């Protein structure tokens, strides 16, 4: 039968062809331009709100419609979900919003404290929908300037000030004015910048002043000191610092991980491996049979690993509130759809505490594989059984029940699944 093209169909095809002529880089640049204008409009609305109410809005949706007439300004053109920030904990409760608002209730106290040191150059609204090789986030500052930066700008604060000299001056003044601030990340940043401009004496003086005020029970502070010593290549001092910290906190896995790094740099391979196993006992399971678990899935049915013997299984520890987990989900879905008929399956172990939120996410995103949900978060029995301390934790298990890897993420997930299905997995 010959197809009949209506006028409407022809017009639609012409529009599609015209759109296809716009290259991906050109479209990306256009989206960034639109997003930049959105951020400037949002900034203007925020300051109008602040002037009228004497405080910042609780959420960006509070700006609509009195201070922000067009709600479309809250949607980034690169947001494929049409109004969702990359980090779900930044999700606006009232309306679709693509942007992360740094003064939402979850972050307000912390960001207000940060502002005392970093000033109005620090981000107020952030868009993570344009991540590429050049930058990760498009930011609107408290002073209504738009600039690009990495995701963790605190580790590269020069991105928000525009010059190393201004960054050094700002951080040095902030440390002097707020020596007891809990936002300690700017100490290593300042040491790094001092080294960059060949002011090693200033870096040493800062480290010594910091050591004088460091309290023995301040675990986090010791890690900050360790970061500064590492920048100065003082590995022996670091070894002494973290060996003593291990005595104080003999079960602290973060201390073990730091000792792995130190011993590797010092050439102590055996000690590095010893601490690696202490830091992550699950490494000892690679190539060995994963212990079975028994639980009830989200639909009320019994579920265990034994039920999946003979299949390649991804045991995926995750949560809706986990930004990296959500960012990974499109890749996981794509691999599932490609290999589900060849003997690949997934078991989700949710570390959520809100069942309704979990169910809504699964339904909205058409996630078909079974889920285990206890509502106990990190105390989930299955997570506890496998010593899960961080997510996403994607355990890829071979047909015979042995663990291939507990880091089956990103591009390597499909390769590992394909190899396992062909019987070529290498632990």
Give the pLDDT confidence score for residue 7 in this predicted structure.
35
Distance from C-alpha of 180 to C-alpha of 108, rounded to nearest angstrom: 19
Tell me which of 217, 249, 279 is where a domain ends.
279
- Note the pLDDT of residue 424: 65
My answer on whether 332 and 410 are in the same domain is: yes
225: left (phi over 0), alpha (psi -120 to 50) or beta: alpha
For tokens 């008929």, the residue is: 341
- Sequence-distant (6+) residues with CB within 8 A of 423 are 399
Task: Indicate whether 208 belongs to any domain.
Answer: yes
Q: Per-residue pLDDT tens for 302-344? A: 999 999 999 999 999 999 999 889 989 999 999 999 999 999 9
Residue 289 confidence (pLDDT)? 94
Structural domain span for residue 205: 163-228
pLDDT at 359: 95
Residue 75 maps to a domain = yes
* Total of domains in the chain: 4
Mean pLDDT for the stretch of residues 29-55? 96
- Is 28 part of a structural domain of the chain? yes
Residue 77 falls inside a structural domain: yes
pLDDT band at 285 (very low <50, low <70, confident <90, very high): confident
Beta bridge partners of 297: 372
Inside any domain, residue 217: yes
Least confident span in 17-26, 143-152, 222-231: 17-26
Whether residue 15 lies inside any domain: the answer is: no
Q: Model confidence at 182, in pLDDT bands (50, 70, 90)?
A: low
Average pLDDT, the chain: 89
**pLDDT score at 178:** 81
Q: In this structure, are 37 and 143 located in the same domain?
A: yes
In whole angstroms, what is the distance from residue 228 CA to residue 341 CA?
Answer: 52
Same domain, yes or no, for 335 and 275?
Answer: no
pLDDT at 2: 35
The pLDDT of residue 25 is 75
197 and 269 together in one domain: no
Which pLDDT does position 217 carry in this prediction?
85
pLDDT band at residue 1 under the 50/70/90 scheme:
very low
pLDDT at 410: 83
Q: What is the pLDDT of residue 28?
A: 87
Q: Is 99 exposed, middle or buried (0-12, 13-18, 19+ CB in 10 A)?
A: buried
Residue 380 to residues 50, 351, 353, 362, 417, Cα–Cα distance (Å): 42, 7, 10, 19, 27
* Domain final residue, candidates 128, 153, 178: 153
Q: How confident is the model at residue 36 (pLDDT cuts 50, 70, 90)?
A: very high
Residues composing the chain:
427
Residues 6+ apart with CB under 8 A from 245: 219, 222, 252, 255
pTM of the model: 0.68
Residues 299 and 412 in one domain: yes
Pair 135, 171 in one domain: no
Cβ–Cβ under 8 Å, residues 286 and 427: yes
158 belongs to a structural domain? no
On whether both 318 and 384 belong to a single domain, the answer is yes
- Please report the pLDDT score of residue 340 as a whole number: 95
Q: Which of 153, 173, 196 is the last residue of a domain?
A: 153
Do 322 and 380 lie in one domain? The reply is yes
Whether the predicted pLDDT of 179 surpasses 60: yes
Are residues 131 and 37 part of one domain?
yes
Token pair belonging to 85: 């920030």
Same domain, 216 and 239: no
- Angle of helix 219-231 relative to helix 253-265, nearest 10 degrees, comes to 20
pLDDT at 284: 83
User: What mean pLDDT comes out for the span 237-249?
Assistant: 94
Is there a single domain that holds both residue 271 and residue 367?
A: no
- Supply angle C-alpha 43, 46, 47, rounded to 5: 90
**180 pLDDT exceeds 90?**
no
Q: Answer whether residue 13 is part of any domain.
A: no
Max intra-chain CA distance, the chain: 86
220 and 238 together in one domain: no
The domain that holds 349 is classified in CATH as 3.40.30.10
**How many CA atoms lie less than 13 Å away from 354 in the CB half-sphere?**
11
């Amino acid at each position: 039968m010959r197809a009949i093209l209506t006028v409407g169909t022809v017009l639609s095809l012409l529009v599609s062809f015209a759109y296809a002529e716009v290259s991906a880089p050109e479209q990306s640049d256009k989206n960034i331009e639109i997003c930049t204008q959105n951020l400037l409009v949002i900034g203007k609305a925020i300051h109008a709100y602040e002037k009228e109410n004497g405080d910042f809005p609780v959420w960006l949706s509070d700006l609509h419609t009195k201070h922000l007439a067009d709600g479309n300004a809250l949607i980034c053109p690169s947001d494929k979900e049409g109004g969702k920030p990359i980090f779900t904990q930044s999700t606006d409760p009232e309306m679709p919003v693509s942007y992360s608002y740094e003064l939402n209730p979850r972050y307000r106290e912390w960001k207000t404290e940060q502002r005392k040191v970093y000033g109005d150059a620090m981000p107020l609204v952030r868009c993570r929908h344009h991540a590429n090789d050049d930058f990760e986030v498009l930011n609107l500052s408290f002073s209504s300037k738009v600039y690009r930066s990495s995701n963790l700008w605190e580790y590269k604060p020069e991105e928000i000030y525009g010059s190393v000299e201004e960054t050094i001056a700002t951080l040095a003044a902030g440390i002097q004015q707020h020596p007891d601030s809990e936002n300690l990340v700017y100490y290593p940043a300042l040491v790094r910048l001092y080294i960059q401009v060949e002011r090693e004496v200033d870096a040493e003086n800062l480290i010594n002043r910091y050591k004088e005020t460091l309290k023995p029970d301040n675990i986090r502070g010791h890690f900050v000191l360790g970061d500064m010593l590492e920048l100065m290549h003082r590995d022996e001092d670091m070894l002494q610092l973290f060996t003593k910290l291990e005595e104080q906190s003999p079960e602290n896995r973060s201390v073990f991980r730091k000792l792995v790094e130190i011993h590797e740099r010092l050439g102590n391979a055996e000690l590095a491996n010893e601490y690696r196993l202490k830091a992550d006992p699950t490494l000892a399971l690679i190539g060995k049979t994963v212990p079975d678990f028994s639980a009830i899935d989200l639909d009320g049915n019994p579920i265990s690993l034994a039920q999946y013997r003979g299949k390649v299984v991804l045991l995926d520890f995750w949560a809706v509130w986990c930004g990296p987990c959500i960012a990974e989900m499109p890749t996981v879905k794509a691999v599932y759809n490609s290999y589900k008929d060849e003997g690949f399956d997934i078991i989700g172990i949710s570390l959520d505490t809100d069942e309704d939120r979990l169910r809504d996410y699964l339904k909205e995103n058409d996630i078909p594989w079974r889920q285990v949900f206890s509502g106990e978060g990190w105390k989930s029995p299955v997570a506890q059984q496998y010593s899960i301390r961080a997510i996403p934790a994607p355990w890829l298990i071979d047909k015979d029940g042995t663990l291939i890897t507990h880091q089956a993420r990103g591009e390597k997930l499909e390769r590992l699944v394909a190899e396992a299905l062909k019987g070529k997995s290498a632990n």
